[in-house]
Amino acid sequence: MRLSSFYFLLFGSLLVSCNKNSEDRISKNSSTKFQQYYNQGEQLYLKHCSNCHQKNGKGLGLVYPPLNESDYMDKNLKDVLCLIRYGKEGELIVNGKAYNQRMPPMALLSDLEIAEISTYIYNSWSHEKGIIDVKEASDMLQDCN
């Protein structure tokens, strides 16, 4: 094998490997329903959430908290769904840092859309929760204070 062919094969396998990592998360939850929730949730996230929380989920300085690597998300699933629907005013502590920017309510989103956004954010970046079904989301949203 020529040296240039070797490097081509090596580089090609690295590209496939990198691409495979992002697809592995979805293939672990390979049900069609999960894929639909995840893909629709990504579109809804980009439309409604990414301006503040950024496409990569890292937030915006000390203004908007991160969703990627968020101890608050890890411990407060129901509260996160309630925040999406009803917004939040006042301080929120994420990863030991205080955030005090108002989060506007998204009351026009359906329970299904909130379930889809939640499925996306809870299965992106550093999270691997699995599907958050619309029934589960509806039950949690009924209990919001």
3 and 26 belong to one structural domain: yes
86 and 24 belong to one structural domain: no
Domain residue limits at 68: 31-142
CATH number of the domain at 40, please: 1.10.760.10
Helices (H), 29-133: 32-48, 50-53, 71-75, 77-86, 111-121
Q: Per the structure, how many domains does the chain have? A: 2
12 and 79 belong to one structural domain: no
pTM for this model (two decimals)? 0.80
95 and 85 belong to one structural domain: yes
50 and 120 belong to one structural domain: yes
Q: What is the pLDDT of residue 7?
A: 44
113 and 58 belong to one structural domain: yes
pLDDT tens series, the chain, 145 aa: 554 554 444 444 444 443 444 455 555 557 999 999 999 999 999 999 999 999 999 999 999 999 999 999 999 999 999 999 999 999 999 999 999 999 999 999 999 999 999 999 999 998 999 999 999 999 999 999 7
Q: What is the pLDDT of residue 21?
A: 43
Taking alpha carbons only, the member of 107, 73, 71 closest to residue 87 is 107
How many other CB atoms are found less than 10 A from the CB of residue 114? Answer: 24
Q: What is the pLDDT of residue 122?
A: 97
